[in-house]
Each structure stands twice: as structure tokens, then as C-alpha cells.
Amino acid sequence: MSARLVLLGPPGAGKGTQAARISERLGVPAVSTGDIFRANVAGQTELGRRAQRYMDAGEYVPDEVTNAMVRDRLAQSDAADGFLLDGYPRTDDQVAELDAMLADAGQALDAVVELTADTDEVVTRLLGRAQEQGRADDTEVVIRRRLEVYAEQTQPLADVYAGRGLLVQVDGIGSIDEVTERIMTALAPRLG
């Protein structure tokens, strides 16, 4: 099945978990900028060192770095029939860049899924994840800053995609299976 999707939602809303499940169901790769950044940080690449400074402060990695990584990833053969973008786009400029990437390939998005979640629930989830996984980027101060940055920069993208008739909002609170089923039900009319 062909599906070109974007997954939006605040940090801790379950995007990574749901991206993996939805991409498996649809047979398209999940493309997570967060995973790409963490892999580069772990590998101590030049990109990783640059990205680490921003991630530690709860800020986004600059667009020129992110855009180049996404363009390269979407050009790979496994993404020819579709993809699920998790963590991209996050800004108006990235929306324009994604539009250009897709136009260059003669493609368009099928839908944009926004996972919604209560802020206190998200903070609790991320603090729990930080303890379980020992993630240095998940302190309460950084989590709250990431949520502020999301509200300022990324939330407005939901309005852009709603204006294009692409936005599907799904409650991200509940069991993993419940949320997956909500997403699949919401996407069914858009994917045929």
C-alpha cells in the first residue's frame, strides 16, 4: 500500500511507538529525525556533535542539517512507495522544504496525523522514560522547554495541514493498541 504520512504531536505523546506500529501495518518505513540524531550523537559524528548542543538545550537541530538528512532518507528505495515521517516537519520552513521534496518526486502527502496528549501526562511519561532508559535529554526542565518549543513552532503546522484538508487528530492517551486502532481507523478513508 502506498502511504505518505506525517506524524505530529508533542514530545512524549507516543509518536515513536505509534510510528513503528503504523509503518509496519502499512508496509512503509518510519523515518524519525530523533533516531537519526541520536545515532549520530552516539557515533560522535560531526552532525552528532552539532545536534547534541541543540538537543541538550531542548532546542531543535537547524533546518539545513535536518532537511538534508530527510531529503536523503526519502530518496532511498524503501521509501519509493511511501513513508511515515516522525519528528519532521517541525517549522513552516520545513513544511515548505518537504513540499518541494515531494513536488520534485511528483508526490504528495496522504495525511497528517496529530497525536494529542495532556501536558501533565506527557511530562509524567517522559520522566518515567528518562528513568527507564537513562536518557540525559529528558530532565524535567528540558522536557518543559521542549513542550514550549513544540507549542511555539510545531503546533501551528497543524493549522497549516488542517487548512489543506490533510489533518487527522487522534487522542494519544490510552493503551498502545487503542491508540494504534484509533490511528488506523482515522486513516482508512484517506488511504483507500
- Catalytic positions, please? 15, 90, 129, 135, 146
Residues in the chain: 192
Strand-pair category, 30-32 with 3-8: unpaired
Other beta carbons within 10 angstroms of residue 3's beta carbon come to 21
Q: Is 145 exposed, middle or buried (0-12, 13-18, 19+ CB in 10 A)?
A: middle
- The backbone torsions φ and ψ at residue 112, rounded to the nearest 5 degrees and listed phi first, read -125, 120
Alpha-carbon span 51 to 77, nearest angstrom = 26
